[in-house]
Amino acid sequence: MQQNEQLENQPDEQLEKQQKERRDFLGCLGGAIACGAATVVASAASSAAVAATAGGAVPPIPNFDWSKHQWAFGVDAERCIGCLRCVEACKRENNVAPDAHHFRTWVERYVTLEGEEKARIDSQADPANIAASGTDGQYRFANRYKDAKVEKAFFVPKLCNHCTHPACVQVCPTGATYKTEDGAVLIDHTYCIGCQYCVQACPYGARFFNEEKGVTDKCTWCYHRITKGLQPACVEVCPVSARIFGDRNDKQSLISQFIQNHRVQVLRPETGNAPNVFYVGIDKDVS
């Protein structure tokens, strides 16, 4: 309260009184804030302690211990035939709205025409492709480049990359999205407030807004299947093994072999998210 002593020299008593009161008030307020801060720090510390003690705990999933697995996904674009069975299976398995605008996984077609520099990209949500399938609940690529002069063309399946350093988890204000010990990035729909920061943060456009529930949604690698020893639905139905899924802790698993035997790459490594979906057979146009 040194400042108050200095102010005592001022001639105007009326003003002095007012200012003293204001300073007392601010002082009290400061004290209250300090108190509040102290409790917050204390509670954070205590909850950090809780988290630390829970380090070895495992969620109660029957016959499954997440500390023993490290999931990863492989995409062999050279094998993909663009049949879109994965897209349809994913929708059914995960109750995704059956329209052409909400997808947990999707397939893009990259076509470079002769004399053009950039690839033309379309996915099943393109109007021409919806028209080819007849409804927005079914998916098929229209044979639209049948008569074009094509330099190169290929299909690329896309899905959530389940990054090691996921930007979406960092920006979530409520702890509704998180990374599990075994490597999947999940969304807790009861805690999601639908602010869509994560949709903005994801460099891969893997998240979308589920208007019906008012929450964000995305691929879970079919967490309910992989924890039961099954493959994700998209991998299950792929007729040509363009999608590979498995456990990197198991050196004999398909995914470990895939990464070992191919020159794999990830999408947009420069963002620092460290994706866990590994691609073979794509080129610079794909990001």
Site for ligand HEC in 84-103 (CB under 6 A): 85
DSSP conformational letter for 239: T
- Edge-first strand listing for the sheet containing 106-113: 120-123, 106-113, 150-158
Polymer length in residues for the chain = 287
Residue 256 sits at φ, ψ, to 5 deg, of -65, -40
Could you say which of 80, 83, 187, 234 contacts ligand HEC (CB under 6 A)? 83
279 forms beta bridges with 75, 265
Nearer to other proteins, 30 or 269 (CB): 30
222-241 residues in contact with ligand HEC (CB under 6 A) are 239-240
287 binds, options ligand HEC, other proteins, none, Cβ within 5 to 8 A by partner type: none
Which segments of 205-253 does DSSP mark as H helices, in order? 223-226, 233-237
Considering the complex, what minimum distance in angstroms separates the CB of residue 129 from other proteins? 12
Nearer to other proteins, 38 or 269 (CB): 38
197-226 residues in contact with other proteins (CB under 8 A) are 220, 222-225
Considering the complex, what minimum distance in angstroms separates the CB of residue 107 from ligand HEC? 13
Give the integer Cα–Cα distance in Å for 75 and 79. 9
41 binds other proteins (CB under 8 A): no
132-191 residues in contact with other proteins (CB under 8 A) are 135, 137-138, 140-141, 143, 145-146, 148, 150, 153-155, 175-181, 186, 188, 190-191
Give the integer Cα–Cα distance in Å for 238 and 23. 71
Collapsing DSSP to helix, strand or coil, 201 comes out as: helix
- Give the footprint of ligand HEC on this chain (CB under 6 A): 83, 85, 239-240
